[in-house]
Chain A
Amino acid sequence: MRAEVGGASLANDPLTRAGDCLAGDGAGHHKFLPAFVHSLPEHLPYTASRAGMCLLVIVSGLGLLPGHAVHCAEPLEPVPQQVDVDPAKVALGKLLFHDPRLSRDDTISCATCHDLANGGDDGRVVSQGVAGRKGLVNSPTVFNAAFNIAQFWDGRAETLEDQIDGPIQNELEMATLWPDVVVKLEEDAKYPGLFAAVYPGEAISRRIIKNAIAEFMTSLITPDSRFDQWLRGDEQALNAQEKRGYELFKRYGCSSCHQGRNVGGNMFQVFGVINDYFRKRGGITKADMGRFNVTGNEEDRHAFKVPSLRMAAHTAPYLHDGSAATLRDAVDAMFEFQLGRTAPDADKDAIVAFIRTLAGETGGPN
């Protein structure tokens, strides 16, 4: 159950569940009350004001108030309209993100593999780095990456800033060293002034380069997808097939893993949990070991971060190895290896149709 008050989406906070309004911690603080309830002026009587607002949330969630019906208590949530970022850092980060001098031979930029005009990835099975070197896994989208629980397929970087070290120094990707990058930027005509303006008193360094790029990546969100509009109450935002696709998406159990505002990205899952994908595919590589490469824990063998489906409509091919050329192929693979179920083509097509509604605007306020 979700409500929208004053234009601010309450659904962005996973804890703001109207159904949990009455859940308290015994100290008078209701943890699952919507945030705005807690932010009410202190001079208002707590019980009356907050209980009243809570009731409002419940009533509106039940569709008893006039206006749009709001789809709440769904496993999927809308992408927030905006995130809190520093515009100056974002602007600097955008320059850096598109600057090929961050690679050894000045040919590859972050945007080479994460084309913002093309869903945030490069459309290749595996990415191509300096001197045409092939990467080991399919490039994920950079959009909404800030919502992921970790970065990379195996989640080896906890934050966006940590993640930047990977491609910059990876011999198969940008294949450079930070000191070289710093020197290049220091010798540039514009960067010293830009960095000085954004990070006053700090010399250009690995830390602030990463910080700026991470800030830019944080700003890369995709709000206002058709599905989000539907979640917010616009019944016309989805057609019948797409709505049915969403219901099937939940019923078949896709939403067990692909859920939350990023429709994935908030957990790790073993690929081949019901049926063994890798035995069927063969040719197991180190990259196929997934999170096992990070933790060394047998439970993590073939476990990967569940990819976000938000931009899936634009980021073919799919799966960590890029083996699913189309969205439908990916859905088929999921049904076979993850769900252990069979489904009619119409159902799968409906699910694909639904997934295509998840992509939002890429040139939003941020």
Chain B
Amino acid sequence: MKSTSIVFGAVSSFLLVGAGIALYLVTPPAFDERFRTAIGSVQAMQQLGAEWSVETARVRADPTANFDGLAAFVPRMKHLKDDLSESLAHIPDLPERLTADSRAYLAAMESLRERVERFKTAYAVIRNSERYFPLASADLILRAEQGGNKRLARDIADVTVEMDAYLSSPSESAREGLRARLQALTEGSTDEPEDVASSLGNFAAHALVLLDKRSRTHELFRGITSTTLSERTRPLTDVLEAELEERRRATALGQQAVVGLGAGVALIWVVIGFMRRSQSTRIGSSREAAPDIDSMSESLLADDDDGEDARDEDVAVVTEALQTMDAAAGTVGPDDVSRSAFPFAARDARSGMDTGRDAGMDIMEALLTTGAVVGLMGQSMGAYARRMGDDLSALDRDPDAVQTDSDAAQAAQRLRRLRADARRLGFFAHRMVGLGRHLAPKDRESIDVNQCLDEVLSRVGVETSCVVERYFETVPDVWASRTEVRLLLAMCIDHVLRSFQDMTSFEARVQVRTASATDSVTISFIHNGEWVPPEQRMNQFIPFYGSQDRPAALELPAARHLARKYGGTVNLDSLPDERSVLSVELSVHADHATMHR
């Protein structure tokens, strides 16, 4: 029982822990921090983009503004881009859509940067030309007039007015018209004095700058201050949030499963612990009786100490009985559930292998064993008590016996005390028997003995230890608890196997026979195991009697106890150097299935 449950628990735990580890490894981490960093970077980039737009607007509104403010955004943007890229790069299995969205966002950011750079480049020129163009125009007109070139002066004035109109309301046709006029002016400048030609060249160059770059600069500005980046931010952060949430769910599910498996392991061990505790509690019922036994023993001994006849034979008998029971209780105590305390365990130990019997049978076996032990103890105590009562009655009837005592009053007191003790023992024995009866199962059914015997032989795995020969006759069913009959047969088999324990020089063989009589079924185990001398045979049926030489020799007392419940018995015959016969007799009538007292 102990080994099976622990093995079961260990194997189950191993499997569950293995599954847990596998699940833990398979469960993807949520990468919370990475996602948070990515989301934070995206939001920070949006903020940076917005601030960049504001700064650009400020620069545009201030003709003397420098671009340090705009340039300062570049390293910040690079840092954020690196953060976002690195965060996403370290998140495995990122959905393609999210990767694409992120790339698009980074590209939009890069595009913003490029727009800002181009805006700066263009705007620096534009603002110079816007400032200088009227001056150049006035200077050129003045030079032309001073040189008497009124036509040039008029042309320059016309171009200046057209340029003003164009700058106020740009149009493609106006632009092309101005281009043509400027080209004509430039081509005609070769006839002008050098200073005028130079001034005309500069005038035309600035005019062309305004024609070509002003609209472009405005487009760039509109692009910088547009909400494109902001519009991209929300969907991207939403997708990142959704992905994070999905991964969190998956991770949580995995973690819950791992916790569940861990709880499963814990539950298994709790159940095993409970089962063992339950078993120990049952056994502990007899253990719990120990204090009573102890106290009674102490009481008796204390009383004995008071008297001069502490080595009185009757007291010694009682003390011996109590000590025997105490030893029995100690042997099967919850903290000392040795393998030898149970028949199958002893056989398992001998065979060195686990037979794989089902745990339920083990549990029932343990419970029944406990019941049998307690019941046997009760019977023993009852027997002692009866004998004490008889002896005391005899003494009571023979006054001479009392007169041998030097003090008649003291002798009378001892007699009264012995009588009281006997009553206590009787009461205690009654309780123990009742406890044994309570522990024993009450379910009875019609049992095919051959089938049951075959089943037990198979389950115990006798064939692994010895050669088994079956000789089964057709026998009537018996009305009994299947569990108890199984236990009875198993104990007998265990006894047989135990008899092979030290026999290594020959092949172990056992012949199992069933036969029917008028009202009973007989099961015989004929084996070539250790010979039991005649003087020891009856002792084999005394609980724990042979604990020194044959540890935990509990099989036969328990088996006989169970057999007697069903109107039968267990006997042992043994021939030196030949064979031993263990026979079990069970009544086939339900009427006989009464508790043997």
Enumerate chain A interface residues (CB-CB to B < 8 A): 14-15, 20, 23, 31, 73-77, 149, 158-159, 250, 253, 255-257, 259-262, 266-270, 273-275, 299, 303, 339-342
Contact = CB atoms under 8 A, between A and B. Distances in A.
Interface in B23-79: 51, 54-55, 58, 64-72, 74-75, 78
Given A14-B68, A266-B66, A256 B118 contact: no
B67 A259 contact: yes
B206 interface: yes
B121 interface: yes
Contacts, number: 95
B205 A14 contact: no
Contacts of B51: 31
Given A158-B78, A275-B205, A341-B132, A15 B117 contact: no
A341 B203 CA distance: 9
Contacts of A149: 71, 74
B117 A268 contact: yes
B205 A274 contact: yes
B403 interface: no
A163 B51 CA distance: 28
Contacts of A75: 64-66
B131 to A, nearest CB: 7
A20 B55 CA distance: 11
Contacts of A158: 74-75, 78
A29 to B, nearest CB: 11
B85 interface: no
B310 interface: no
Interface of B: 51, 54-55, 58, 64-72, 74-75, 78, 117-118, 120-121, 124-125, 127-129, 131-132, 136, 195, 198-199, 201-202, 205-206, 209
A31 B129 CA distance: 31
Given A273-B209, A340-B132, A266 B70 contact: yes
Given A158-B78, A257-B124, A266-B71, A274 B66 contact: no
A74 B124 contact: no
Nearest to B58: A20
Contacts of A268: 117, 120-121
A341 B64 CA distance: 19
A255 B68 contact: no
Contacts of A31: 51, 54
B121 A267 contact: yes
Given A73-B64, A250-B64, A275-B205, A339 B128 contact: yes
A296 to B, nearest CB: 12
B121 A303 contact: yes
A267 B124 contact: yes
A74 B64 contact: yes
Contacts of B64: 73-75, 250, 255
Most B CB within 10 A of own CB, among A74, A250, A266, A342: A266
A290 to B, nearest CB: 11
Given A74-B64, A269-B121, A260 B71 contact: yes
Contact of A14 (B66, B75, B78): B66
A261 B51 CA distance: 21
Q: Which 9 A-B pairs have the closest CB atoms?
A: A253-B128, A259-B66, A260-B68, A14-B69, A266-B71, A14-B68, A340-B202, A260-B66, A256-B124
A275 B202 CA distance: 8
Contacts of B195: 342
Contact of A274 (B67, B70, B78, B202): B202
B132 A266 contact: no
Contacts of B72: 14
Nearest to A19: B62
A210 B199 CA distance: 50
Given A158-B78, A260-B66, A342-B198, A253 B121 contact: no
Nearest to A263: B66
Contacts of B125: 256, 269-270, 273-274
B69 A342 contact: no
A342 B202 contact: yes
A304 B71 CA distance: 15
B139 to A, nearest CB: 9
Nearest to B51: A31
25 contacts: A14-B69, A31-B54, A73-B64, A74-B64, A75-B65, A75-B66, A76-B66, A158-B74, A253-B127, A253-B132, A256-B124, A259-B68, A260-B67, A261-B68, A267-B67, A267-B70, A269-B121, A269-B124, A270-B121, A274-B205, A274-B209, A299-B118, A303-B121, A340-B205, A341-B136
Most A CB within 10 A of own CB, among B117, B198, B209: B117
A309 to B, nearest CB: 13
A55 B75 CA distance: 32
Contacts of B69: 14-15
A267 B199 CA distance: 28
A30 B436 CA distance: 90
A270 B128 CA distance: 14
Nearest to B54: A31
Contacts of A270: 121, 125
A20 B69 CA distance: 13
Contact of A77 (B66, B127, B202): B66
A340 B206 contact: yes
Given A77-B68, A266-B67, A274 B117 contact: no
A256 B127 contact: yes
Nearest to B119: A267
A270 B126 CA distance: 13
B148 to A, nearest CB: 21
A268 B64 CA distance: 17
